[in-house]
Structure 1
Amino acid sequence: MPDPPSPRFPEGFLRRRNALWQALRQAPPGTPEFEALISELSGLIGWSRGRVLAGLGLPGTGEPGAG
């Protein structure tokens, strides 16, 4: 049985966050889709673009198109 949602984060937030991480893992880096997803996730969780890229195991400077 899965753990109940954290009282700190509503269930909808956790589902959206997890869905965005999953979509980012499947989207090709550098595409408009990838950039839109990374921007949305970054805003949702309050992480910089560079930190999200690091969470995906991707190199990058934090600037779109910089790698």
Structure 2
Amino acid sequence: MSAPRPGPPPGPQPRQWSGDGTGDAGHPAVDAAVRAVAYAATLAPAEQIAQYEAAYQTLRETLATIDQA
């Protein structure tokens, strides 16, 4: 059974940074993980764990696909 995927938090989305000044948000899965971590900070500590674990798993899978490219 796979971990739940982080989803966008409710409310305004955090400003995205691409590093190159173009405004490109980057990789969708990484962006979702970053939003999930930002959202987790607003949750009760017991609820944060699932968000952090899902974000971590998403980042691991995304980095693994980059390594294979």
Does TM-score exceed 0.5, indicating one fold? no
How high is the TM-score relative to the length of structure 2? 0.43
Higher relative CO (CA 8 A, sep ≥ 6), structure 1 or 2? 2
How high is the TM-score relative to the length of structure 1? 0.44
